[in-house]
Amino acid sequence: MVRTQKPQGEVTRGTTAPNRLRRVDRWIAATQAGPLRSRARPLAVDLGYGASPVTTVELYTRLRAVAPRLEVVGIEIEPDRVAAGQAIMAGHEGLSFRRGGFELPVDRPPVLVRAFNVLRQYDEAAAWRAWDGLCGRLAPGGVLVEGTCDEIGRRAVWVALRDGAPRTITFAARLASLGRPSDLAERLPKTLIHRNVPGERVHALLADFDRCWATAAPQSVFGPRARWIEAVALLSRTHPVIARPPYGGRHRWRLGEVTLPWSAVAPASPPPPG
């Protein structure tokens, strides 16, 4: 039975738009097929989907293409947002919406939680606590994907957490509108955004990525995609870029992505006390 309790968390601004989360959805479908197919009735949660249920419906459509038995639940604190989702459930078998927050009011542990643009309004300590709490509610082998993106999904950064700890970080962008890789710093997750200062790994990574981007400038004659691929290849000489599928390699880099292990950006000092 789903327990009824006061939702944990704060109401977000609710900003959303069609296809805003297509980059992370595409990445989840390509890299997380194992967890998504791992059970007879696998469950995915879209936490804090915002004022419109459109991105939850898109998640449902994209993930069901690789995991047809997957059920998707959209969770929101604001009752009107839940009602908007429930109004479009008909015709979408396995899709539902309910009121809740970080406590995840679902009937079984999910294999996936996507929490995007949810933790921006929290401080760093609260963001770490949210990671711990959500990871503790996952099914064994499940994954939490938490991150942020801009208003129309051109730039995004997300972290994948498994077995109670962050495992990878992914940077993704629409390359035609990217000035330099460090422009993605404004989309860092809350656990890192204040760590983008000298002495921290994430700062060093982005600074080196910018240098690689500058070195790769001659590739621009072949388009921004070629420049990005060359910059990522150069970055891999000094940083542990994941180069093997499904997380890496030219196929994923061509999409404007690069994934690294969390150790490449992990804070130099412990998280603040909660």
DSSP line for the chain: -PPP-PPPS--------TTTTHHHHHHHHHH-HHHHTSSSS-EEEEE---S-THHHHHHHHHHHTT-TT-EEEEEESSHHHHHHHHTT-TT-TTEEEEE--TT---SS--SEEEEESSSTTS-HHHHHHHHHHHHTTSPTT-EEEEEEE-TTSSEEEEEEEETTEEEEEEEEE-GGG-S-GGGGGGG--HHHHTT-STTSHHHHHHHHHHHHHHHTGGGGGG-HHHHHHHHHHHHTTTS----STTT-SHHHHTTTEEEEEGGGT--SSPPPP-
Task: Give 16-25 pLDDT, tens digit per residue.
Answer: 888 999 999 9
pLDDT of residue 274: 63
Q: Pick the residue with more confidence: 3 or 116?
A: 116
The CB density around residue 34, as the number of other CB atoms within 10 Å, is 12
Inter-residue contact 95 to 57 (CB < 8 Å): yes
Q: How far apart are CA 115 and CA 11, in angstroms?
A: 13
Residue 216, both tokens: 């790769």
pLDDT of residue 13: 66
DSSP H or E run through 213? helix 201-215
Share of the chain above pLDDT 90, in %: 88
For the chain, the average pLDDT equals 94
pLDDT of residue 14: 60
pTM for the model stands at: 0.94
In sequence order, the 6+-apart residues with CB closer than 8 A to the CB of 34 are: 141
Task: Give 46-72 pLDDT, tens digit per residue.
Answer: 999 998 999 999 999 999 999 999 999
pLDDT of residue 243: 97
Q: Which of 72, 71, 74 is nearest to 52 (CA)?
A: 74
Alpha carbon 47 to its chain centroid, in Å, reads 11
pLDDT of residue 43: 98
In sequence order, the 6+-apart residues with CB closer than 8 A to the CB of 71 are: 41, 42, 43, 44, 94, 95, 96
pLDDT of residue 200: 97
Task: Tell me the pLDDT band of 4, cut-offs 50, 70 and 90.
Answer: low
Alpha carbon 271 to its chain centroid, in Å, reads 20
Could you please report the per-residue DSSP string of 254-266? TTTEEEEEGGGT-
> Residue 5 pLDDT > 90, yes or no?
no
Helix (H/G/I), strand (E/B), else coil: 133: helix
Task: Tell me the pLDDT band of 91, cut-offs 50, 70 and 90.
Answer: confident
pLDDT of residue 262: 98
> Residue 10 pLDDT > 80, yes or no?
no
Q: How far apart are CA 24 and CA 228, in angstroms?
A: 18
Q: How far apart are CA 189 and CA 131, in angstroms?
A: 11
Inter-residue contact 102 to 133 (CB < 8 Å): yes
Task: Give 100-110 pLDDT, tens digit per residue.
Answer: 999 999 999 99
The whole-number average pLDDT for the span 188-217 is: 97
pLDDT of residue 203: 98
Residue 5, both tokens: 């309790």
Domains along the chain with CATH numbers: 22-261 (3.40.50.150)
